[in-house]
Amino acid sequence: MTEHPPVVVHPPSPTGGRRVTIGDQIAGLAMGPADLFEFLRRAGLDPDLVELSDPTLIEWRGGGPDYWGPESRA
Protein backbone atom coordinates (compact mmCIF):
# COMPACT_ATOMS: atom_id res chain seq x y z
CA MET A 1 0.00 0.00 0.00
CA THR A 2 1.34 3.43 -0.98
CA GLU A 3 1.54 6.04 1.75
CA HIS A 4 0.20 9.48 0.78
CA PRO A 5 1.15 12.79 2.33
CA PRO A 6 -1.44 13.84 4.92
CA VAL A 7 -2.25 17.12 3.08
CA VAL A 8 -3.61 17.07 -0.46
CA VAL A 9 -4.03 20.27 -2.46
CA HIS A 10 -6.40 19.36 -5.28
CA PRO A 11 -6.39 20.84 -8.82
CA PRO A 12 -7.60 24.41 -9.20
CA SER A 13 -11.31 24.90 -9.69
CA PRO A 14 -12.47 26.69 -12.86
CA THR A 15 -13.27 29.77 -10.77
CA GLY A 16 -9.97 29.72 -8.86
CA GLY A 17 -8.87 28.30 -5.56
CA ARG A 18 -7.98 24.74 -4.62
CA ARG A 19 -9.75 22.28 -2.35
CA VAL A 20 -7.54 21.13 0.52
CA THR A 21 -7.90 17.87 2.41
CA ILE A 22 -5.98 17.04 5.55
CA GLY A 23 -6.13 13.37 6.37
CA ASP A 24 -9.65 12.34 5.39
CA GLN A 25 -11.20 15.74 6.18
CA ILE A 26 -11.93 18.59 3.77
CA ALA A 27 -10.22 21.66 5.22
CA GLY A 28 -11.74 24.11 2.75
CA LEU A 29 -11.05 26.04 -0.43
CA ALA A 30 -7.70 27.81 -0.43
CA MET A 31 -7.39 30.85 -2.66
CA GLY A 32 -3.66 31.06 -2.05
CA PRO A 33 -0.83 30.11 0.31
CA ALA A 34 -2.19 32.20 3.19
CA ASP A 35 -5.39 30.14 3.25
CA LEU A 36 -3.42 26.90 3.08
CA PHE A 37 -1.23 27.98 6.01
CA GLU A 38 -4.38 28.81 8.00
CA PHE A 39 -5.82 25.34 7.32
CA LEU A 40 -2.53 23.79 8.43
CA ARG A 41 -2.55 25.90 11.60
CA ARG A 42 -6.09 24.78 12.40
CA ALA A 43 -4.96 21.17 11.93
CA GLY A 44 -2.29 21.67 14.59
CA LEU A 45 0.75 22.26 12.37
CA ASP A 46 3.05 25.21 12.92
CA PRO A 47 2.92 27.21 9.65
CA ASP A 48 6.36 28.66 10.41
CA LEU A 49 7.81 25.14 10.16
CA VAL A 50 5.96 24.08 7.00
CA GLU A 51 7.67 24.11 3.62
CA LEU A 52 5.04 24.09 0.87
CA SER A 53 7.37 22.14 -1.41
CA ASP A 54 7.78 19.30 1.14
CA PRO A 55 6.42 16.19 -0.64
CA THR A 56 6.35 14.23 2.62
CA LEU A 57 3.68 16.63 3.93
CA ILE A 58 1.84 18.05 0.90
CA GLU A 59 0.73 16.33 -2.28
CA TRP A 60 0.06 18.88 -5.03
CA ARG A 61 -2.35 17.79 -7.76
CA GLY A 62 -2.80 19.80 -10.93
CA GLY A 63 0.00 22.29 -10.31
CA GLY A 64 2.37 23.27 -7.57
CA PRO A 65 2.32 25.90 -4.85
CA ASP A 66 2.54 28.77 -7.34
CA TYR A 67 -0.65 27.82 -9.21
CA TRP A 68 -4.03 28.62 -7.67
CA GLY A 69 -6.34 28.99 -10.63
CA PRO A 70 -6.87 30.42 -14.09
CA GLU A 71 -5.67 33.90 -13.12
CA SER A 72 -2.26 32.59 -12.06
CA ARG A 73 -1.38 30.97 -15.40
CA ALA A 74 1.81 32.21 -16.97
Distance of alpha carbon 74 from alpha carbon 71, whole angstroms: 9
Long-range own/partner contacts, residues 22-29 (CB < 8 A, 24 or more apart): none
How much is the pTM?
0.87
pLDDT band at 74 (very low <50, low <70, confident <90, very high): very low
The tens digit of pLDDT for each residue in 18-54 reads 999 999 999 999 999 999 999 999 999 998 999 999 9
